[in-house]
Structure 1
Amino acid sequence: MLPKFSVIIPVKPGGEVRALAAISQATYPGDLFEVLVAYGCQPSVQRNTAAREAQGEILYFLDDDSGVAPDFLDRAAGHYQDPNVAAAGGPSLTPATDSPLQRAIGIAFASAAGGGGVRNRYRKSGAARHSSDSELILCNLSFRREIFLAHEGLDERLYPNEENELMDRLQREGHLLVHDPELAVQRSQRRTYRAYVRQMYGYGRGRGEQTLIAGTLKPVTLAPSLLLLYALLVPLLGVPLLNLPLWAYFGVVLLASLQGTLVGKDLALLPRLLLVYPTLHLVYGAGVIRGLIRPRYRGGRKAHWEVEVRRVKPFGEAQMSCSENMQ
């Protein structure tokens, strides 16, 4: 028997829900899925609120610009035939029509030098498999609703990295997570370098905050931060020999940029990759330090975020205004 899905899309007030265009082409029976658009200003709260109102057995979270394949619900349903599977998702791929900067960001994310252990979030590699949060990403991720709600959903103190914290908890309890490369969505990368910098800083800060909440530190988490501190301190020491690792790093960046340019078959990628790689590492590292030293959830007044959830049909979303009340 096929499960019923609730597709949940958080969006800023007044935002366009471009994901609906692709969802409208879904091959899954129309009476077995609903689409909930959660309008608000805090995605973790929006997703949790919509999950409580959902009627489906499976929650499928997408971003407002996630371009799904027509059979995405059919493939996801197949994974939930195993009762031990608590979550399933796939990668987020960069469209070939994106600008050179956007494609450079996508190439870096999907590379060993850039994405590292999480690069499969941004590329199609291998077959469907049991995995971990390192391969799953919230713009294309589903959960069993019963399990999601039993664990109180996403930790609303976190954004981003809220899904990583939840999946860590699920795996510790013995639940299975599935990564399916064929469940890929198409999503454009940040349009400007400034937006990319903010993204990397936010990712790093979220990882630092998640580390504090989880109470466990993965050594790889600190690697970008250590690189940043090293790059800042070495010039001040005046010891030429200590510069060798820094030059080796620049060599790795150059080789990765050349390889990415060849893969992308566009010379315009090269100067952008030479900028994107160090930004990814150093800005992310700065974010991690900030998240560890001054997590957002420990200071200031607690915000009550208003959320409006609407069941919509593709192309039928409504608009609303933003509202945030501080208590």
Structure 2
Amino acid sequence: MFSIIIPCKKSNDLLKECLDYISKLDYADFEIIVLPDECVETQHCRVSIRIRIIPTGPIKPGAKRNIGAQHAQGEILAFIDDDAYPALDWLKNALKYFEDEKVAALGGPGLTPFDDSFWQQVSGAMYLSWFAGANPERFYPGKKRFLDDWPSMNFLIRKNDFLAVGGFAENFWPGEDTALCHNLVKAGKKILYCPDVLVYHHR
């Protein structure tokens, strides 16, 4: 089972959009853990029976994700940001890569949504340039390969491996996802980039 973990400050339209797309996934064996600062309502979501709301207070995103992992019942943790939403085959495509026991974690691109505003599209286009830094395939489907760093906006990992390396470094923000990946690689674990494990990430 997958545990989809979503840190956020409060309920908002983008979180509602994220949950709505999750409700339409073509793979059904998952739970959802939402970690707001304070308690939020879930009546807007068709999958509310599978949502657990865990208020955390105003703490950093990495700490929220760690709390979500501690409460997760799934064998695989699926981290996504509240301003992103998954492609409908997100989990189904991820599952096939986890059939390889050597793969501890995987990440996929966060594409700019087609209905984002003009300036959001411009921002997304800027990220496609090498001037935006390493791993431009964070923002478009590149070639499958192993890597040593990936952002947590679309990051899936075996729960046992996540806990074994101590989860996210709560004293880091930003950069807690890079620290996690560094610890995984240092422990000899493999992180796979999977171009078809897609989410759409608002700019």
- TM-score normalized by structure 2? 0.84
**What is the match of residue 202 of structure 1?**
none
Distance in 1 (CA, whole Å) between partners of 2:11 and 2:127 is: 29
Tell me the equivalent position of 2:25.
26
Deviation for aligned residue 1:97: 2.3
1:104 CA displacement: 1.6
Give a deviation string over 1:261-314, Cα, whole Å, max 9, x none. Answer: xxxxxxxxxxxxxxxxxxxxxxxxxxxxxxxxxxxxxxxxxxxxxxxxxxxxxx
> Which aligned segments of 4 or more residues in structure 1 are displaced greater than 3 angstroms?
none
Which residue does the alignment assign to 2:43? none
Q: Find the partner of 1:66 among 73, 78, 84.
A: 84
TM-aligned CA deviation for residue 100 of structure 1: 2.4
Match of 1:123 among 135, 140, 153: 140
Could you say what the CA RMSD is over the residues aligned between the two structures, in angstroms?
Answer: 1.4
Pick one of 26, 33, 38 that aligns with 1:36: 33
Letter in 2 for 1:116: G
Measure how far apart 1:59 and its partner are.
0.2
Q: Which residue of 2 aligns with 1:132?
A: 148
The answer (yes or no) to whether the contact 2:165–2:187 under 8 Å persists in 1 is no
5+ residue gaps, structure 1: 190-327
- Structure 2 residue runs without a partner (length 5+): 38-57
Paired position in structure 2 for 1:156: 170
Distance 1:118 1:71 in 2: 23
Total equivalences in the alignment: 180
Compare the two structures and name the one with the higher strand fraction: 2
The one of 43, 46, 50 aligned to 2:68: 50
Q: Hey, what's the Cα distance between the residues in 2 that align with 1:139 and 1:69?
A: 13
Q: Which amino acid aligns with 2:199?
A: V
SS of the equivalent of 1:44 reads: helix
8 Å CA contact 1:91–1:137 kept in 2: the answer is: no
Please identify the structure whose Cα radius of gyration is greater: 1
